[in-house]
C-alpha cells in the first residue's frame, strides 16, 4: 500500500551537518533538553534515528545529541575512513564543533569501539561512558560457541536466537515501511522508529521498501578496523549494560519440548556464552576509573528499546554520580 502523503519524522529533533574531514559531513541530531550533554552513538548498520524514541525520554534530564557515523543514513559515504581511530576522531570532531563541555557518551553495540578509543585517548574531554550491550571484542573466540550451536537439536537451532538474527524480509514484508517495520518487530522483538528505516533504505515510488543505502563493504571495513579492547587507559566512570545468558530453564520455556540430551546441549551453549560474558566483564574492570556493570539475562540486543524505562533509570542515576 502506498504511503498517504510524504513521510514526516515525528521525532522532536533538529538536524544539522558537521564537517569532520575534508568532504565528509556527518548528520547530527539534537533532541534538546537541559543539563549535561549526552551523545548517542548507534550500532553497526544503524543511524542516529534508531534512538528517536529513547532520546526524547533521555532529554528529560540531559541535553541529547546523536551522531550518524560516516557511511550511513544521510551522513556522507566516503570510500575510506572506517577504521576505529578515524571513526573515533569523527566523534571528537563533532564534540569540538558543537563545543560540548564534559559530555557523556552512550554507545550501542559496535559503538563501543568509538567509546573505548575516545575514553583511552581523551578521558580529559569527556565525563563518562555508557555501553549498551557494546563490549564485544575482536579477541572474542566464538569457536566453542559456534560448535555448541551446531550441536543443538534442529528445531531449536532454526529459531531466530540461534540462526543469525536479522535477515532480509520477503517481498511481502517490504510492501511498505509499516509492513517491514512490523515484520522486523516480530522477527527481532523490538520496533525501530520508522524514520530509522527510511534513513537506511530507499523508498520506491509505490511506497515499498527499496534497496539498503549502504554498501556491504562499509560494514566489512568497520568490522575489520576494530581494535582489541583495552580499557586500562580510561579515566572516566563507566556504566555497562551487559547481555547475559538466561538460565537453561528460562530458555527451555520458549523452545519446543525436547529430551534430556537436548536440554544438555542448550546448557552447553549457555556455558560457552557465560565464558564470553565473563571475559568481557573482567576486561572492563581494567579501567582506571569506577565501573558499574549491569547484567541483563536474555535481554534484547536493542535493550534501550526493549527495556527503555530501566535503562533510562540507570542512566539517570549514573549521571547524578558523575563529578
Give the largest CA-CA distance in the chain.
61
Q: What CATH number did the domain enclosing 120 receive? A: 3.40.50.1820
Tally the domains of the chain.
1
For residue 301, give the DSSP letter: S
Please report whether residue 164 resides in a domain. Answer: no
- With respect to residue 197, please indicate whether it lies within any of the assigned structural domains: no
Residue 89 grid coordinates? 576522531
3-state SS of the chain: helix, strand, coil percent to 5? 40, 20, 40
Q: Is residue 187 included in any domain, yes or no?
A: no
pTM: 0.93
Residues with Cβ within 8 Å of 42's Cβ and at least 6 positions away in sequence, in order, are 48, 50, 51, 66, 68, 69, 72, 108, 109, 111
CB atoms within 10 A of CB 66: 27
DSSP secondary structure letter of residue 191:
-
DSSP states along 209-261: EEEESS-HHHHHHHHHT------TT--S-EEEEEEEPPPHHHHHHHSPP--HH
- Name the pairing type of β-strands 201-203 and 209-212: antiparallel
Residue 18, in any domain of the structure: yes
Residue 285 within a domain:
yes
What's the pLDDT at 178?
93
Residue 192 in any domain: the answer is no
Domain that includes residue 101, residue range: 14-139+217-247+277-321
Q: What is the DSSP letter of 59?
A: T
Question: Does 179 reside within a domain?
Answer: no
Q: Which of 101, 74, 76 is nearest to 86 (CA)?
A: 76
Asked, for residue 117, whether it belongs to a domain, the answer is yes
pLDDT tens by residue, the chain, 323 residues = 344 568 899 999 999 999 999 999 999 999 999 999 999 999 999 999 999 999 999 999 999 999 999 999 999 999 999 999 999 999 999 999 999 999 999 999 999 999 999 999 999 999 999 999 999 998 899 999 999 999 988 877 776 666 555 444 444 589 999 999 998 888 788 999 999 999 999 999 999 999 999 999 999 999 999 999 999 999 999 999 999 888 888 888 877 767 888 889 999 999 999 999 999 999 999 999 999 999 999 899 999 999 999 999 999 999 999 98
For residue 297, the cross-strand partners are 244
Amino acid at each position: 500500500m502506498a504511503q498517504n502523503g510524504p513521510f514526516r519524522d515525528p521525532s522532536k529533533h533538529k538536524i544539522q551537518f558537521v564537517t569532520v574531514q575534508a568532504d565528509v559531513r556527518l548528520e547530527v541530531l539534537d533532541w534538546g533538553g537541559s543539563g549535561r550533554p549526552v551523545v548517542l552513538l548507534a550500532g553497526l548498520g544503524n543511524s542516529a534515528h534508531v534512538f528517536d524514541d529513547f532520546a526524547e525520554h533521555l532529554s528529560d534530564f540531559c541535553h541529547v545529541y546523536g551522531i550518524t557515523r560516516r557511511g550511513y543514513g544521510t551522513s556522507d559515504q566516503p570510500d575510506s575512513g572506517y577504521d576505529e581511530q578515524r571513526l573515533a576522531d569523527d566523534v571528537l570532531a563533532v564534540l569540538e564543533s558543537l563545543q560540548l563541555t564534559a559530555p557523556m557518551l552512550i554507545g550501542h553495540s559496535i559503538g563501543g569501539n568509538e567509546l573505548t578509543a575516545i575514553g583511552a585517548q581523551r578521558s580529559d574531554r569527556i565525563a563518562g561512558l555508557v555501553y549498551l550491550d557494546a563490549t564485544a571484542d575482536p579477541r572474542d573466540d566464538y569457536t566453542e560457541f559456534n560448535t555448541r550451536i551446531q550441536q543443538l537439536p534442529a528445531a531449536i537451532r532454526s529459531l531466530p536466537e540461534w540462526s543469525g538474527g536479522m535477515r532480509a524480509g520477503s517481498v511481502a514484508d517490504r510492501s511498505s515501511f509499516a509492513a517491514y517495520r512490523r515484520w522486523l518487530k516480530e522477527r527481532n522483538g523490538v520496533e525501530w522508529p520508522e524514520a530509522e528505516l527510511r534513513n537506511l533504505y530507499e523508498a520506491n515510488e509505490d511506497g515499498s521498501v527499496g534497496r539498503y543505502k549502504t554498501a556491504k563493504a562499509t560494514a566489512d571495513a568497520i568490522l575489520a578496523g576494530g581494535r582489541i579492547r583495552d580499557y586500562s587507559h580510561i579515566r572516566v566512570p563507566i556504566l555497562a549494560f551487559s547481555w547475559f545468558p538466561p538460565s537453561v530453564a528460562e530458555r527451555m520455556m520458549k523452545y519446543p519440548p525436547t529430551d534430556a540430551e537436548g536440554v544438555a546441549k542448550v546448557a552447553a551453549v549457555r556455558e560457552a556464552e557465560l565464558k564470553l560474558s565473563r571475559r568481557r566483564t573482567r576486561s572492563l574492570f581494567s579501567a582506571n576509573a569506577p565501573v558499574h556493570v549491569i547484567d541483563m539475562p536474555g535481554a534484547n540486543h536493542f535493550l534501550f528499546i526493549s527495556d527503555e524505562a530501566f535503562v533510562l533509570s540507570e542512566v539517570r542515576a549514573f549521571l547524578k554520580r558523575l563529578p
